[in-house]
């Protein structure tokens, strides 16, 4: 049961500084409001049912049944499934809008956008079975966009993108009736089944939660990532800096916050417009400084190196620095408090999506036909605001980072344009240089110490030779404490360090926004099919971790990773802790069904211990060499220059200790 407990707000020095200021000035923040309002313990544990007006029924103490007779298991499962439905809806609706934009580009109706990555377009068309020969990019794009849109309204059959999973995985989904038929259909079916008086078997409800979640990971999110890459470019490594210290005292600061790249990409272009830069100068600023918050930030960081000003819990803090001329938002993870907060500052809060309006904000809708002129209008307003800026308090805290990795780029790093593969990474895992892999993803949550669990888990894992990939607000947390900087190599275990230095990747790899968790599915699938590590995701020595989850989207992501075969560990509170039955169903129950399981641990140390235990268990099942921390790393960095000069096969041979090519 959730109790009111004292939580240290944050470990982030920049956030601490601004929070002190907020306290002095009696400014309300998510941190102060959380301290004043304990979470409802009945709802937090999944024991409150409010799906009909005979209730709400609170299943605590002696009340083991709702008025209609619903059991705790049914209620907790229904609540869980509804969280999944909302999460799938959010990610997928984002994908839907990208599909519309792609079709708009093909039809010449989406001014400002273009196809920036034709190679990705051909790649996606290839696995969707769309012909490319003797066709224009626009013709192909129209078919890809149309195919994507069809996934939403499809009633029968299988969501097309699921064909990217292994054959074995697809068979599990078919055999267990978990194969998603259409994205919208699976969301609707959760809502139907959890309506009063329909599905009353917890296991059956949770199966539908998995089916819908798969329509997110292998549907809405995956197609969103694909189309974003086609329209805006597949990421490659970029350098940047992170935290509130990226805001500038002498420039117009604009923050993009939310999720969809359609808006932020246009703002990036507008901020580079020489006329607007000149206009900013005329208003007394030294330029225009664009920064990001939440996943929008990840989208523009990955593709343009735009610096993240912070993650979810820092959105209010950015405004409290007094230095933000405009915060431009679209959808998801935006706090309503911003609308009130900006009333005390010169900051303008600008909403841009017809789906999301906020009292206190100015609404400037992103034009479908001429998005760039909307973006320019927004930037101009921000500049107009600059002379009204008062005193600023920007913490001098920022950290360097490298981001911009993608499945495609990782392939390229491991063999070049024509021979891209995952062979070197797989071999490194087989030999025990790398012990395993972990995805550390997800949100911040004011109910747990901001960034604490995430940054500690990342450090512990790489020190134990576990390669880490990050997305979402967890990626910002990684960045802020130096985990995405090249220096982090020194904190990695000796085996992991060797491999990273040789392939040229950092031990913590930023793979993008939360919809880009689909990139992790693609990476894992390739690792499973590359050879040496079994046949499917559930064979891999890998885990998924969401240390500070907050949103319903995180629950959907966790569920689709489980249904894809991964062991997923969440930090913070469990939304089903009231029901022993549901706790069992999503852990042991799901493991016997799909090979993955979902568990919640409040202490990050438990998450690290469980992860390493699982990784070693999977290594043993694959009969891989026992992992020994000090077996590798003696070769010394002086050899790296020599390695660089070697042809690929010899390089691999040398690194992985194959006798013939050993230096």
Please report, as ranges, the residues that interact with ligand SF4 according to CB under 6 A.
49-52, 54-57, 66-68, 70, 75, 196
Site string for ligand XCC, 619-638 (x = CB under 6 A): --------------------
**Cβ of residue 94: shortest distance to ligand XCC, in angstroms?**
10
Nearer to ligand SF4, 64 or 155 (CB): 64
Nearer to ligand SF4, 67 or 640 (CB): 67
Question: Which one of ligand XCC, ligand SF4, none interacts with residue 52, CB within 5 to 8 A by kind?
Answer: ligand SF4
From 27, 550, 576, 612, residue interacting with ligand XCC (rule: CB under 6 A): 550
Nearer to ligand XCC among residue 151 and residue 314 (C-beta) = 314
Comparing CB distances to ligand XCC, the nearer of 85 and 276 is 85
Spatial separation of the C-alpha atoms in residues 506 and 146, rounded to whole Å: 37
| Radius of gyration (C-alpha) of the chain in whole angstroms | 24
E strand residue ranges, 376-435 = 399-403
Task: Quote the CA–CA distance of 73 and 478 in Å, as a whole number.
Answer: 37
Element (H, E) at 212: helix 202-215
Among 295, 555, 562, 652, contact with ligand XCC (rule: CB under 6 A): 295
Measured from the Cβ of residue 344, the count of other Cβ atoms closer than 10 Å reads 12
Rounded (5°) CA angle 140-146-150: 145
437 alpha carbon, distance to own chain's centre: 16
Q: Is 492 in the site for ligand XCC (CB under 6 A)?
A: no
* Binding residues for ligand XCC restricted to 452-491, rule: CB under 6 A: 472-473
329 binds ligand XCC (CB under 6 A): no
Asked if residue 56 has a cis previous peptide bond (ω within 30° of 0), the answer is yes
Given the structure tokens 């604009």, which residue do they identify? 254
CB 476 within 8 A of CB 308: yes
561 binds ligand XCC (CB under 6 A): no
Among 442, 507, 541, 595, binds ligand XCC (CB under 6 A): 442
Least gap, CB of 389 to ligand XCC (angstroms): 27
Beta bridge partners of 289: 253
Residue 49's binding partner among ligand XCC, ligand SF4, none (Cβ under 5 to 8 angstroms by kind) is ligand SF4
Q: State which residue, 546 or 608, has the beta carbon closest to ligand XCC.
A: 546
- What does the alpha-carbon distance between residue 624 and residue 651 come to, in Å, rounded to a whole number? 22
Q: Coil, strand or helix: which one is 546?
A: strand
Beta-carbon contacts of 502 under 8 Å, excluding residues fewer than 6 positions away, are: 424, 640, 643, 651, 655
Of 49 and 266, the one with the shorter C-beta distance to ligand SF4 is 49
Q: Note whether 302 binds ligand XCC by CB under 6 A.
A: no
User: Residue 333 binds which one of ligand XCC, ligand SF4, none, with CB within 5 to 8 A depending on kind?
Assistant: ligand XCC
Binding partner of residue 400 among ligand XCC, ligand SF4, none, CB under 5 to 8 Å per kind? Answer: none
Task: Look up residue 428 and give its DSSP letter.
Answer: H
Q: Kindly state the DSSP code that residue 468 receives in the 8-state scheme.
A: E
Tokens of 319: 């405004």
Q: Choose among ligand SF4, ligand XCC, none what residue 67 binds, the Cβ cut-off being 5 to 8 Å by kind.
A: ligand SF4
Q: According to DSSP H, which parts of 252-358 are helical?
A: 261-271, 274-282, 294-304, 315-320, 337-341
586 in contact with ligand XCC (CB under 6 A)? no
Shortest CB 100 distance to ligand SF4, Å: 37
Bridge-based pairing of strands 508-512 and 542-546 is unpaired
- Taking CB under 6 A as the rule, does residue 496 contact ligand XCC? no
Structure tokens at 507: 């031990």
Q: Residue 607's closest CA among 575, 569, 578, 637?
A: 569
**In the bound complex, what is the minimum distance in angstroms from residue 270's beta carbon to ligand XCC?**
23
**244 interacts with ligand XCC by CB under 6 A:** no
Task: Kindly give, in sequence order, each residue whose CB lies less than 8 Å from that of residue 440, ignoring residues fewer than 6 positions away.
Answer: 454, 457, 458, 461, 468, 469, 470, 474, 478, 545, 546, 547
Q: Which is nearer to ligand SF4, 73 or 571 (CB)?
A: 73
**Cβ of residue 57: shortest distance to ligand SF4, in angstroms?**
3
What ranges in 423-535 are assigned the alpha helix state H? 423-431, 452-463, 472-480, 494-503, 517-530
The piece of 4-12, 138-146, 299-307, 545-553 that touches ligand XCC (CB under 6 A) is 545-553
Residue 550 contact, options ligand SF4, ligand XCC, none, Cβ 5-8 Å cut-off depending on partner type = ligand XCC
Nearer to ligand SF4, 48 or 402 (CB): 48
Q: Which of 147, 450, 519, 553 binds ligand XCC (CB under 6 A)?
A: 553
* Residue in 287, 292, 218 with CA at minimum distance from that of residue 250: 287
Polymer length in residues for the chain: 663
Q: In this chain, which of 59, 106, 187, 443 binds ligand XCC, going by CB under 6 A?
A: 443
Smallest gap, in angstroms, from Cβ of residue 77 to ligand SF4?
A: 12
Residues that bind ligand XCC (CB under 6 A): 294-295, 312, 333, 442-443, 472-473, 514, 550-551, 553-554
């Amino acid at each position: 049961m959730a109790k009111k407990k004292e939580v240290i707000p944050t470990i982030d020095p920049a956030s601490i500084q601004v929070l002190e200021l907020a306290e002095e000035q009696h400014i309300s923040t998510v941190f102060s409001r959380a301290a004043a309002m304990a979470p409802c313990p009945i709802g937090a544990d999944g024991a409150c049912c409010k799906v009909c007006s005979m209730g709400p029924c609170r299943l605590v103490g002696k009340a083991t049944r709702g008025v209609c007779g619903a059991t705790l298991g049914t209620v907790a499962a229904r609540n869980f499934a509804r969280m999944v439905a909302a999460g799938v809806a959010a990610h997928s609706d984002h994908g839907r809008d990208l599909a519309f934009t792609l079709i708009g580009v093909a039809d010449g109706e989406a001014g400002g956008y273009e196809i920036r990555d034709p190679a990705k377009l051909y790649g996606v068309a290839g696995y969707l079975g769309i012909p490319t020969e003797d066709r224009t990019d626009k013709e192909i794009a129209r078919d890809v966009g149309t195919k994507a849109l069809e996934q939403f309204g499809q009633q029968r059959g299988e969501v097309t993108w699921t064909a990217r999973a292994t054959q074995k995985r697809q068979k599990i989904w078919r055999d267990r009736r978990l194969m998603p038929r259409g994205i919208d259909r699976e969301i609707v079916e959760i809502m139907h089944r959890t309506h009063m008086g329909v599905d009353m078997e917890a296991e059956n409800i949770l199966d539908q939660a998995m089916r819908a979640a798969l329509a997110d990971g292998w549907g809405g999110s995956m197609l969103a990532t694909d189309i974003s890459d086609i329209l805006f470019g597949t990421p490659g490594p970029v350098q940047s800096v992170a935290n509130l210290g990226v805001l500038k005292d002498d420039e117009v600061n604009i923050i993009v916050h939310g999720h969809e790249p359609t808006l932020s990409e246009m703002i990036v272009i507008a901020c580079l417009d020489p006329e607007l830069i000149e206009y900013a100068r005329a208003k007394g600023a030294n330029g225009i400084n664009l920064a990001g918050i939440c996943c929008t930030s990840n989208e523009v960081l990955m593709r343009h190196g735009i610096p993240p000003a912070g993650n979810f819990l820092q959105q209010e803090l950015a405004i409290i620095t007094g230095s933000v001329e405009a915060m431009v938002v679209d959808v998801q993870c935006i706090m309503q408090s911003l609308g009130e907060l900006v009333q005390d500052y010169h900051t303008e809060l600008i909403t841009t999506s017809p789906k999301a309006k906020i009292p206190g904000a100015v609404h400037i809708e992103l034009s479908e036909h001429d998005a760039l002129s909307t973006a320019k209008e927004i930037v101009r307003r921000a500049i107009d605001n600059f002379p009204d800026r008062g005193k600023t308090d920007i913490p001098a805290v920022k950290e360097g980072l490298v981001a911009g990795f993608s499945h495609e780029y990782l392939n390229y790093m491991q063999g070049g344009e024509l021979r891209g593969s995952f062979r070197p990474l797989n071999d490194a895992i087989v030999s025990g240089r790398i012990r395993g892999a972990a995805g550390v993803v997800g949100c911040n949550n004011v109910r747990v110490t901001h960034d604490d669990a995430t940054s500690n888990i990342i450090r512990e894992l790489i020190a134990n030779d576990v390669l880490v990939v990050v997305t979402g607000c967890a990626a910002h947390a990684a960045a802020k404490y130096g985990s995405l900087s090249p220096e982090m190599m020194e904190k990695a275990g000796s085996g992991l360090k060797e491999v990273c230095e040789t392939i040229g990747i950092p031990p913590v790899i930023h793979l993008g926004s939360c919809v880009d968790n689909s990139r992790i599915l693609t990476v894992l699938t390739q690792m499973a099919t590359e050879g040496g590590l079994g046949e499917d995701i559930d064979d891999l020595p890998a885990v998924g971790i969401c240390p500070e989850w907050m949103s319903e989207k995180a629950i959907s992501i966790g569920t689709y990773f489980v249904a894809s075969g991964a062991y997923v560990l969440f930090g913070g509170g469990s939304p089903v802790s009231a029901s022993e039955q549901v706790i069992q169903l999503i852990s042991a129950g799901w493991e016997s069904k799909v090979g993955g399981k979902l568990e919640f641990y409040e202490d990050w140390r438990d998450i690290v211990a469980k992860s390493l235990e699982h990784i070693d268990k999977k290594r043993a099942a694959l009969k891989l060499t026992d992992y020994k921390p000090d077996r590798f790393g003696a070769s010394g960095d002086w050899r790296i220059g020599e390695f660089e000069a070697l042809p690929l096969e010899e390089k691999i041979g040398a690194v992985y200790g194959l006798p013939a090519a050993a230096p």
